[in-house]
């Protein structure tokens, strides 16, 4: 089976940097996704990691360490519109679907 852990809530200040961590346990890792979800809306894709290292996409970056079962999403130059939930999801080699963590609700304050 799979187990995915993320902090429940985080608060940060507009213009700052925030790091959202995700740890996972899986029998056969085959990729990790980050999604953003605004309240009451559908999740939207942010990033994908399957190899160790950092993937950068504008203000957002995602890091993966497969040996540690660890990923983080880094958001730079925070904006008020970044207030949302951030979902970590893992695919393993045995399953044909993603398993999602419970999500981290980020509140950006002025």
* Contact call for residue 53 and another protein (CB under 8 A): no
Closest to 65 in 3D by CA, of 32, 104, 20: 32
The owner of tokens 């940060």 is: 12
- Part of the chain binding another protein (CB under 8 A), chosen from 14-22, 42-50, 59-67, 75-83: 42-50
- Part of the chain binding another protein (CB under 8 A), chosen from 19-27, 64-72, 73-81, 100-108: 100-108
Binds another protein by CB under 8 A, chosen from 8, 51, 53, 81: 8
* Contact call for residue 102 and another protein (CB under 8 A): yes
CB of 62 to another protein, least distance (A): 13
Query: Please, how many CA atoms are within 13 Å of residue 30, restricted to the half-sphere of its CB?
Result: 12
Q: What is the number of residues in the chain? A: 110
Q: What are the backbone angles phi and psi of residue 95, rounded to the nearest 5°? A: -95, 160
């Amino acid at each position: 089976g799979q187990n995915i852990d993320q902090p429940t809530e985080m608060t940060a200040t507009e213009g700052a940097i925030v790091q959202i961590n995700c740890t996972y346990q899986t029998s056969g890792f085959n990729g990790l996704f980050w999604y953003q979800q605004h309240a009451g809306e559908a999740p939207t894709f942010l990033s994908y990691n399957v190899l160790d290292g950092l993937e950068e996409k504008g203000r957002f970056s995602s890091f993966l360490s497969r040996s540690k079962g660890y990923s983080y999403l880094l958001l730079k130059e925070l904006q008020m519109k970044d207030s949302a939930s951030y979902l970590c999801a893992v695919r393993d080699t045995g399953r044909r679907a993603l398993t999602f963590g419970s999500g981290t609700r980020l509140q950006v304050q002025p």
